[in-house]
């Protein structure tokens, strides 16, 4: 028995991107579906990295665990997690346990054996597979997502699994040792919110914070850059597993901004983060976070809260239980 984690091929080629744009512009549903299920991406999303980390933890706990793509080749390189084995998706066996990400859960119906739908993103949570099958389990990552799963898959309970934060990649660096006033933001996630927050902050007379927009970095490059800022602006309206705010907390960076409709479930106002759902609120929070004592206290509380997701804590406990659970005699199909 193996645990097989399905992820998209990482591809910077142009051909499939052109097909994707044409399908979108012409609203060609069959072509859109074909491109979508082709499972290629030119962005390494946090949800994919989280799946890779689960594969890594499973292997560390003694399980035979592999990543699967349609081609079966590691095209991620430094953008993924090194030394994880890859296989083609079609090489799965009946006795394998297949973990399938939310945006392609329709592929679960291809699996002959046991399958797990890993539901990390609200926008991709759909009842497009036979979720009532006893061979199929549901995983998710937060109380917010659990409620969405309960509504989408009535009668089938979803298990909350821990995210995985790597403290070696994202070591804690105190606020006093970081670059004063540097505030990171990801323009890929609602740039309008970032721009409006910057303008509102200046209108309040704020002069301490300087927003740096970060995009297109590998996980290694991002980890290096995360050693610099004092703050992170969470701008997304809807999040999935919400790794950037959590990696910020592990690093000693104070998080200010949106809870992403509950997906940023580690954000606790005034303790682990400064929650602000509008640019005006975010600007006011940034004024408050000009205080060094407030920043230091919040960053240390956030670190303590997020440490539960370090690999040797809840993730290892989770995988030790999962391995024992699936070692039980396989179902007869």
- Sorted by sequence, the CB contacts under 8 Å of residue 279 that are 6+ apart come out as 193, 196, 197, 199, 200
- Residue tagged 């999040």 (tokens): 239
Euclidean distance between CA atoms 140 and 122, whole angstroms = 10
In order along its 333 residues, the chain shows pLDDT tens digits of: 999 999 999 987 766 566 556 655 655 554 444 444 557 888 888 999 999 999 999 999 999 999 999 999 999 998 999 899 999 999 999 999 999 999 899 999 999 999 999 999 998 999 999 999 999 999 999 999 999 999 999 999 999 999 999 999 999 999 999 999 999 999 999 999 999 999 999 999 999 999 999 998 989 999 999 999 999 999 999 888 899 999 999 999 999 999 998 889 999 999 999 999 999 999 999 999 999 999 999 999 999 999 999 999 999 999 999 999 998 755 433
Q: Which residues pair with 138 in a beta bridge?
A: 117, 158
DSSP, collapsed to helix, strand or coil, labels residue 266 as coil
Residue of 329, 333, 326 lying closest to 97 (CA atoms): 326
Q: Which residues pair with 175 in a beta bridge?
A: none
Do 69 and 44 meet the contact criterion of CB atoms below 8 Å apart? no
What global pTM score does this model have? 0.91
Phi, psi of 191 (to 5 degrees): -60, -25
User: What CA–CA distances, in Å, run from 82 to 74, 79, 90, 274, 298?
Assistant: 9, 9, 22, 34, 33
Q: How far apart are the first and last CA of the chain?
A: 15
- Sorted by sequence, the CB contacts under 8 Å of residue 109 that are 6+ apart come out as 129, 130
Do 145 and 122 meet the contact criterion of CB atoms below 8 Å apart? yes
Element (H, E) at 15: helix 15-26
Euclidean distance between CA atoms 112 and 120, whole angstroms = 23
Residue 314: Cβ within 10 Å count? 16
Do 275 and 233 meet the contact criterion of CB atoms below 8 Å apart? no
Do 137 and 107 meet the contact criterion of CB atoms below 8 Å apart? no
Euclidean distance between CA atoms 51 and 212, whole angstroms = 28
The b/e string for 171-181 (b: 16+ C-beta within 10 A; e otherwise) is ebbebeebeee
Do 75 and 94 meet the contact criterion of CB atoms below 8 Å apart? no
């Amino acid at each position: 028995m193996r645990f097989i984690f399905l992820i998209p091929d990482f591809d910077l080629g142009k051909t499939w991107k052109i097909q994707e744009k044409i399908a979108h512009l012409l609203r060609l549903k069959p072509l859109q579906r074909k491109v979508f299920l082709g499972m290629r991406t030119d962005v390494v999303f946090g949800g994919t990295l989280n799946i890779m980390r689960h594969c890594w933890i499973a292997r560390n706990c003694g399980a035979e665990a592999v990543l699967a793509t349609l081609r079966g080749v590691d095209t991620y390189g430094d953008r993924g997690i090194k030394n994880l084995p890859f296989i083609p998706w079609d090489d799965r066996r009946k006795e394998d346990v297949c973990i399938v990400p939310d945006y392609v859960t329709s592929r679960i119906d291809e699996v002959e054996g046991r399958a797990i739908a890993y539901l990390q993103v609200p926008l991709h949570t759909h009842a497009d597979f036979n979720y009532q099958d006893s061979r199929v389990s549901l995983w998710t990552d937060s109380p917010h997502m659990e409620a969405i799963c309960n509504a989408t898959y009535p009668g089938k309970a979803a298990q909350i699994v821990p995210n995985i934060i790597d403290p070696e990649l994202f070591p804690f660096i105190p606020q006093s040792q970081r670059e004063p006033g540097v505030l990171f933001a990801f323009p890929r996630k609602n740039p309008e919110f970032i721009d409006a927050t910057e303008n509102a902050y200046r209108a309040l007379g704020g002069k301490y914070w300087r927003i740096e927009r970060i995009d297109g970095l590998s996980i290694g490059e991002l980890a290096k850059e995360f050693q610099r800022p004092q703050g992170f602006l969470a701008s997304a309206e809807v999040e999935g597993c919400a790794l950037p705010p959590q990696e910020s907390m592990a690093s000693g960076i104070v998080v200010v901004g949106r809870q992403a409709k509950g997906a940023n479930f580690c954000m606790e106002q005034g303790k682990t983060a400064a929650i602000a759902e509008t640019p005006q609120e975010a600007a006011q929070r940034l004024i408050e976070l000009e205080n060094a004592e407030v920043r230091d206290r919040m960053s240390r509380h956030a670190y303590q809260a997020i440490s539960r997701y370090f690999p040797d804590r809840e993730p290892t406990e989770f995988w030790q239980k999962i391995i024992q659970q699936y070692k039980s005699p396989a179902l007869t199909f």
